[in-house]
Amino acid sequence: MKKSLLFILLIAVALLFLFIYTENMGKTTEKKQAAHYFKRDASSLLSPDRFLIIAHRGASGYAPEHTIEAYKKGEELAADYIEIDLQMTNDGRLVAMHDIDLGRTTGEDGEVREFTLDELKDFDVGTWFNQSNPELAEPVFAEQSIPALEEIFDTFGHEANYYIETKNPKYYPEMAKELIRILDAYNLLGETVDEGKVIIQSFSEQSLREIHDVEPSLPLIQLISFDDEAKLNKRAIRNIKHYAVGIGVNYQAITKDFAGKIHKADLLLHAFTVNEKTEINRLKEFGITGVFTDYPDILKTRQEVIP
Ligand code: G3P
Ligand code: CA
């Protein structure tokens, strides 16, 4: 009896030591958390006090998604960011495209990765929009082609802020490396660039960690899609904080409690994709820090946006 009591006592002490050790491990790694690399003061796009409007696939409610015209519209409507989904071509070029397949936006068979950039340039990505939205149709939309990432940077330079998603990184193992190379070539990396000018997002933790390891000065957002109410335990939050400054979550899953928990954890919380003004205002009251929307002027009148 005495022996078994002693055994239980020993186990309890061991568990106590283990608990103290893991808690302290958390504190010592605190310095290495992603937020450590940023000031996040009031002027920063990464400030927890800002509410960001991200033009989802460009202002894709007004112009065909992921075209130069959609991005121009996003800029015209004073979005804080233009959002760019990346795919990779057969000749290793990064292009803005949401789907792996060409069908929905070009009407062509096949996948982006089967074609070179030159070949993709023959396809128009705006006719479908004109046909689906006759009231918004414009001849110039039917002339739009899939833009290479360089073409977007050539057009908008340092005027725009870019919120870039690495899509399907398992398909494209070279994507992260090529993205960093291009950002560097366009002077969109490093201390001379406004904090948060470029944000990288992904559903793939592996892709984000790969970027964080090479370029910790790039702010990263972990995308998560919840089937039901959004929930993350302490361990999951701590893990995300090592490489990301925030999370992007499908808006339907966000509750007041969840938003409060993420805020308390000092992570940004961006909701996708919200096209209802009342819904955005509800989420704002929860304290979220940004929203992806197809209508970047949704919270403003046209007069406020274009005086
Ligand atoms: O990147 C946030 C949001 O855009 C994710 O949804 O499918 O539009 O890329 P999706
Ligand atoms: Ca996206």
Q: Is 98 a catalytic residue?
A: yes
Q: 70 and 214: one domain?
A: yes
Q: Is 212 a catalytic residue?
A: no
For residue 300, the model assigns a pLDDT of 81
Q: 201 and 71: one domain?
A: yes
Catalytic-labelled residue, pool 56, 66, 212, 270: 56
Q: 247 and 186: one domain?
A: yes
Domain span at residue 228 reads 38-91+147-305
Our count of domains for the chain comes to 2
**Chain segment 185-239, per-residue pLDDT in tens:** 999 999 899 999 999 999 999 999 999 999 999 999 999 999 999 999 999 999 9
Q: Does residue 287 fall inside a structural domain? A: yes
Q: Does residue 102 fall inside a structural domain? A: no
Identify the band that residue 6 occupies on the pLDDT scale cut at 50, 70 and 90. Answer: low
Q: Does residue 14 fall inside a structural domain? A: yes
Distance in angstroms (rounded) separating the CA atoms of residues 179 and 175: 6
Q: Cα(165) to centroid of ligand 2, in Å?
A: 6
For residue 106, the model assigns a pLDDT of 98
Is the pLDDT at 36 greater than 80, yes or no?
Answer: yes
Of 228, 99, 104, the closest CA to residue 167 belongs to 99
Is the pLDDT at 5 greater than 90, yes or no?
Answer: no
Mean pLDDT score, 261-271: 98
Backbone angles phi, psi at 217, to 5 degrees: -80, 0
Ligand 1 atom at shortest distance from the alpha carbon of 270? 2
Q: Does residue 101 fall inside a structural domain? A: no
CB-based contacts of 123-127 (< 8 A; 24+ apart in sequence) = 125/64, 125/65, 125/66, 125/67, 126/63, 126/64, 126/67, 126/69
Q: 6 and 69: one domain?
A: no
Is the pLDDT at 123 greater than 70, yes or no?
Answer: yes
Q: 27 and 78: one domain?
A: no
- Please give the angle made by the CA atoms of 283, 288 and 290, to the nearest 5 degrees: 100
Is the pLDDT at 157 greater than 50, yes or no?
Answer: yes
Q: Cα(22) to centroid of ligand 1, in Å?
A: 35
Q: 13 and 71: one domain?
A: no
Mean pLDDT score, 38-55: 97
